[in-house]
Every structure is written in structure tokens, then in C-alpha cells.
Amino acid sequence: MKISFHGAARTVTGSKHLVELAHGETFLLDCGLFQGLGRDTDAYNASFGFDAKTLDYVILSHAHIDHTGLLPKLAAEGFRGKIYCTPATKALTEILLEDSAMIQRDDAKYKNKRLTREGMPLVEPLYTMDDVNLVLPMLQTVEYDKPYKISEHVEVMYTEAGHIIGSAVVNLTIKENKETKTLTFSGDVGRYRDMILRSPAKFPPADFIIIESTYGDKLHDLVHSTPDDLLKWIEDTCVEQKGNLIIPAFSVGRTQEILFELNQLSLEKRLPHIPIYVDSPLSIEATEMLKKFPKYYNKKIQRILEVDDDPFDFEGLRYIKTVEESKALNEDMHPKVIISASGMADAGRVKHHIKNNIGSEKNTILMVGYCEPRSLGGRLMNGAKEVRIYGEPFEVRSKIGSIKSMSAHGDYEDLMQFLACQIPSEVKQVYIVHGEPEVQDHFAERLRKKGFKDVIVPELHETHELK
């Protein structure tokens, strides 16, 4: 059995791991879009590093675009197998891919306006809605905690990952050359004290483990500080400075966490009477979708649902759907909060809101999650004095804030707790993916000290034999 790391290798995006069995069976763990890598992003997404037509099937960990966003390109290049996922992941993947295709189309259209003016060659979208429509019939659901036989040689069992609704740890039992091997792929590991979701579950003993490392060298701030932190930024920006608070937030997971916390502030009569807008059609659709899977919520939310049938709604919340409504927000001079995708600020409507608000000292751009350092959000968090947005330079005069307690990824204590169900000496190899290089190296040392004897940080497109 061989595994090749065609994404999320030495970076936090583009999850894509190719498994090849001795008898010829070939499958992919995740098929993610590279995001936030600056000028290199398009080049990374241009080639898979393997032939899509040779794949037998794909197994997804969860619906986020950096784990599913290249499925339409995979289909466009000839893949015709099944794509396995949990029921909630299927529902979310459908709307996320449709939204991604529209973003690809709109971004290409916007770039081409500038390229036309400059007399440069035009660009094509990475994929289209037609490509998305090829993918949707391929999605096949597998329930949590129920072993499912994919083929004569491969069985999958999903366990809870606690990252977003439907996120799962992929546990594989593989028969090869009269031997049985177990391979676990963590996907993205959530937090054990998440405000909405169930905690990550214990998983069966594994010979080989592929584990993410986004926050493998960091500890998060306490979750219970989040509503007070949000309130402080709203009061400082909107009430005192009479400015706008722009919050880039991923449509699935992060936006719902923010709405939940704002709802709690509203119930406590602490939320100022400031209009709060969710300007992302996908966020609206995703929020409605998440309400259909209450069984995946933690016990705290289950209790809240007994007295509050919609923990994501409150007085003053308004949803923006059309482009015209979105543009109107930038013409409205009244103080307001705008929550908009994407979380790294590299795509979607939030990019336009940042462009229109970054030049005023009274406004704030508030980051509430991980940003790849080369993304627009990453550059702002790292103190850039000037940024380019759609090819134009903008001086950073607005405040740049962050709330470090808001993360759907576990910190190193969460990751170590996740691995605590394993006996380190019995795990043959651990592969560290989905992290910045220096973070991965720190996390690798931490695992070695815990007794995991063979810890590997693979490079992009590197292949390893699993013996």
C-alpha cells in the first residue's frame, strides 16, 4: 500500500491524499481546493499530480472547500466513481460546491475586466456549474459508527471529528496481500469543548494515522470568553467610533458560531441596537441546512433547543441575498456589523466589504479563525500596511482585530487528547498534514516525546510505502 500527499502537505489547505493498493485499487482521501496561497494558488489548483480517470472512488472527511472543492475538476477530468461521506456532509457539499462554482465564475469575470483593460490574455473559471452537476449524483452517504464495505478489500467506518456538522474521522480496514492493515485519516479535528458540536470520538486502534496539525503548537483562548470579546469589538467600533465591523467568516461552522453567541448576548439584553448583517447567500443556506441535523449538536445546544427553537436568530439580524443589497451596505453610512464569507477574506463578498472599509480608522476588520499567511486575511493579521485587493493597492487604515478563542480546529491539547485512545508504540507510522511547516515540525517532536516512534511530515506530491 502506497500513499501520496497531493495537498495539505506543508500547508493548511488543499487536502488530498492518494492511496494505492497492491492489486491496483486506487482511492482518494478528500479532494480539496488550495486557498489563500497568493499568486501560487492557481498553479497549485491546476494539476492534481495524478490521473483522475484512474481513481476508483473518493472518501470525504467533511464538506469544507479545502477538502471538497476540487471534486468538480476531478469529474471534469474523467473521474466517474462514487464519493463517500456522511449525510450532513453530502447536504453541505452540494451547496458549497454550487457556491464555489459561482465564485469561480464571478472571480474570473472580475479579473477579466482588469485584464481586458491591460490588454492581457483572459482567464477561464477553474470549473463550472456543469462540472458540479457531474459530482452531485456520485455522492453516497455512510452513517457514523457503522462499518461499510466499499470493496472486497476496503471497509470504512466514520467516527465523530467535532469540526463542523457532518465532519468525520475516516477509519479504514484494508486487506492486502493476505494481510489486514488499519489506516485512520483524522480530517480536521474539532475541539472538546465546542460551543455547538459534539466532541471528537475515540477511534479504533490504527496501524497508520494521517493527522492534521493546524494548531499543533498553540493553545486557544477559553471559549467562554468569546461572547464578551465579540461584544467589546461591537461596542468599540460601532457604538464608540460609529464605524463598521467587518467579520470575515466561513459560511459553514464559523458563521453559525458567531450567530449563536450574538443570540446569547441578545437573550441577556447586552447586545447593542446595531444592525447585524449576514451577507452571504451560502451562509444563509448553510444555517438553514444545519438546523436539519440537531442530533449532531452537543448536549448544551440540545437543552437550549428546548426553550429556543432557533439559537441562530435574534432581533436586529438581517440577511442579505442579492448583489444589489450587498452593494447598498457599502453606501449605508450608519454603523453596522457585516458577517460575510470567506473566512480567509480571499474570495466572496467580504473581499468587497474590506475594500470599501479598510481605508477608514473608525472601521474594524475582525478575524475569527485561521488564515493562511499569504491570504488577504493572513496579511492583515500579520500587520501589512498596504494590501492589494483585486489587483489594486489599498492602505490599511482600519483596525485589524482577532478573536483567538473561535476556532473549529483543536489546539495541541485537543490533538493529543484525540490521539490518547491509541497506544503509541503500536502505531507503525504517523503522517502529519494540514499545517504550516514550523508548526508541523513542533507537533512532530511533541508526538515523538509521547512515544510515537515513526512520525513523518511529508512534502507535497511525496509518496510513502505503508508496510
Cβ-based neighbours of 67, under 8 Å, separated by 6 or more: 15, 30, 31, 32, 60, 61, 187, 188
Q: Are residues 345 and 421 in the same domain?
A: no
Query: Are residue 438 and residue 326 in the same domain, yes or no?
Result: no
Domain extent for 346: 223-402
Q: Do 413 and 315 share a structural domain?
A: no
Q: Which of 402, 418, 444 is the last residue of a domain?
A: 402
Residues 160, 38 within the same domain: yes
Of 402, 430, 449, the residue at which a domain comes to its end is: 402
- Same domain assignment for residues 192 and 311: no
Last residue of a domain, one of 369, 402, 435: 402
> What number is the average pLDDT over the span 72-78?
97
Q: Is the pTM of this model over 0.75?
A: yes
Q: In terms of domains, do 193 and 266 share one?
A: no
User: Domain containing 332 — which CATH number?
Assistant: 3.40.50.10890
User: Element (H or E) spanning 6, and its range?
Assistant: strand 2-7
- Any idea which residue has 447536504 for its cell? 91
For residues 204 and 256, state if they share a domain: no
E strands within 249-356?
Answer: 276-279, 317-320, 336-340
Query: With the C-alpha atoms ordered 288, 290, 295, 300, is the resulting torsion angle positive or negative?
Result: negative
Mark whether 178 and 298 lie in a shared domain. Answer: no
| Predicted confidence (pLDDT) per residue in 59-69, tens digit | 999 999 999 99
Both 274 and 201 in one domain: the answer is: no
Average per-residue pLDDT in the chain?
93
Q: Are 74 and 55 in contact (CB under 8 A)?
A: yes
Q: Is there a single domain that holds both residue 207 and residue 228?
A: no
Cell numbers that stand for 245 in this block? 465591523
What is the tally of structural domains in the chain? 2
Q: Are residues 227 and 214 in the same domain?
A: no
User: pLDDT tens for residues 324-343?
Assistant: 999 999 899 999 999 998 88
- 256-301: per-residue pLDDT in tens? 889 999 998 999 999 999 999 999 888 888 888 888 888 888 888 8
